Structure 1
Amino acid sequence: MLKIENLTKKFNNRLIIDDLSFTVDDGEILTIVGPSGAGKTTLLRCISGLEKIDAGTFYLDGVAFNPFEETGKQSTIGVVFQDYQLFPNLTVLENVTLAPQLVLKQDAKTVQDEALQRLARLQLDDKKQLYPYQLSGGQKQRVAIARALAMRPKILCYDEPTSALDPELRGEVRDIIKGLKQDGITQIVVTHDMDFANEVADQKLQVVPVK
């Protein structure tokens, strides 16, 4: 279970998130919704350790931790970025296998075997030798998910996973997220798409701009 208490974040003395608390149970899907400028992406970046918070405490299964200070080990929280952030000079398979070898120090065969299994499950096994520029938006999204999962996170976060996708691909992402839920993976999804949020969420967190 992920529990966040009294999270506060400022930029240049401007309050973005004010004393926010919430809990996400194991295997649950939380969607974070709200208008533009409400701080949804900032909140996700704080949760995933990409931004340092000004105040607040994170707990995982009752034990306090700081996602901003997690380096050089298996990630507690992974993130799938809105623009995917794939390495353009690496193949799909290389994108998925690079971090587990460099960061987790796993052997190449284990990493490759697990990557191939993930790619097959995400219907990308025939794309493993392609480069990102050769992929559709939906395929890039799935590669980004496979890469995040390769770090074996306990919680997987998504920043606007359907923003650049057409309705058919939007449905694919919905099905992937629901499929990962069946595997017991806790997921946090930032989205402006209320219909999508309603389709995947076990609970929704509504954020509003701080006045």
Structure 2
Amino acid sequence: MLELKGITKKFGGKTILDGVNLTVEDGKILTIVGPSGAGKTTLLRCISGLEEVDSGEFVLDGQTFDPATNRDNDSVIGVVFQDYQLFPNLTVLQNVTLAPTMVLKQSAIDAKKEAKRLLDQLNLGDKADLYPYELSGGQKQRVAIVRALAMHPKLLCYDEPTSALDPDLRREVQQIIVKLRDEGITQIVVTHDIPFAEAIADQMMRVEPKD
């Protein structure tokens, strides 16, 4: 379980997050919705350790936890970015196995075995040797999810996972996220897409811009 207690973040003297409190239960999906500029992505970046908070604390499984300084953060909180952030010079398989071999110190054999299992699970088994430019937007999205899952995170975060997808691919991503929940993976999804958020959420948090 992840708890946020009084999380505050400012940029240039402007308060973006003001004493945010929330709890995400294990194996559940939290969606964070609201208009552009309301702080959705900032909150996600703070949870994933990409931004340091100005005050407040994070509690993970009953222990105080600082995402910004935790050395093992890649294996605790996974992030699927809006622009996927795949390495263009690496194949799908290389994109997925890079972090497990470098960060988790898995052997190349074990990393490839796990990567292929995950790729098959998300119907990407025949894409392992392709490069990102050879993939559709929906395929890139799934590869980004596989890459995050390969680190065995306790929590998986998504930043606007449907923003560049057509309705069919949107439904596909929705099905993947729900399937991962059914497998016990805790997930936080930032989105402006209210119907999508309502379709997947166990709980929903709405954020509003600060004056």
TM-score band by shorter chain is over 0.9
Query: Deviations 1:61-85 (Å, cap 9, x if unpaired)?
Result: 1110100012256521110000000
- Please give the alpha-carbon distance, in whole angstroms, between the structure 2 residues aligned to 1:153 and 1:63: 16
Partner of 1:17: 17
Asked if structure 2 preserves the Cα contact closer than 8 Å seen for 1:73 and 1:104, the reply is no
Change (3 A) 1:40 1:73: closer
Q: Is 1:86 matched with 2:86?
A: yes
**SS at structure 2 position matched to 1:68:** coil
- Please give the alpha-carbon distance, in whole angstroms, between the structure 2 residues aligned to 1:70 and 1:25: 21
Give the partner amino acid of 1:165.
L
Partner of 1:191: 191
Asked if structure 1 preserves the Cα contact closer than 8 Å seen for 2:49 and 2:73, the reply is no
- Please give the alpha-carbon distance, in whole angstroms, between the structure 1 residues aligned to 2:19 and 2:74: 29
- Please give the alpha-carbon distance, in whole angstroms, between the structure 1 residues aligned to 2:90 and 2:74: 22
Asked if structure 1 preserves the Cα contact closer than 8 Å seen for 2:30 and 2:201, the reply is yes
Give the partner amino acid of 2:9.
K
Partner of 2:103: 103
Asked if structure 1 preserves the Cα contact closer than 8 Å seen for 2:6 and 2:55, the reply is yes
Length-normalised TM-score, structure 2: 0.98
Query: Deviations 1:158-197 (Å, cap 9, x if unpaired)?
Result: 0000000000000000000000001100000000000000
Provide the identity percentage. 65
Length-normalised TM-score, structure 1: 0.98
- Please give the alpha-carbon distance, in whole angstroms, between the structure 2 residues aligned to 1:23 and 1:131: 38
Q: Find runs of 4+ consecutive structure 1 residues off by over 3 angstroms.
A: none
Asked if structure 2 preserves the Cα contact closer than 8 Å seen for 1:74 and 1:104, the reply is no
Asked if structure 2 preserves the Cα contact closer than 8 Å seen for 1:52 and 1:68, the reply is yes
Partner of 2:122: 122
Asked if structure 2 preserves the Cα contact closer than 8 Å seen for 1:73 and 1:103, the reply is no
Unaligned residue ranges in structure 2 (runs of 5+): none
- Please give the alpha-carbon distance, in whole angstroms, between the structure 2 residues aligned to 1:181 and 1:58: 22
Unaligned residue ranges in structure 1 (runs of 5+): none
**SS at structure 2 position matched to 1:96:** helix
Pairwise CA RMSD of aligned residues? 0.8
Partner of 2:169: 169
Asked if structure 2 preserves the Cα contact closer than 8 Å seen for 1:49 and 1:69, the reply is yes
Partner of 1:202: 202
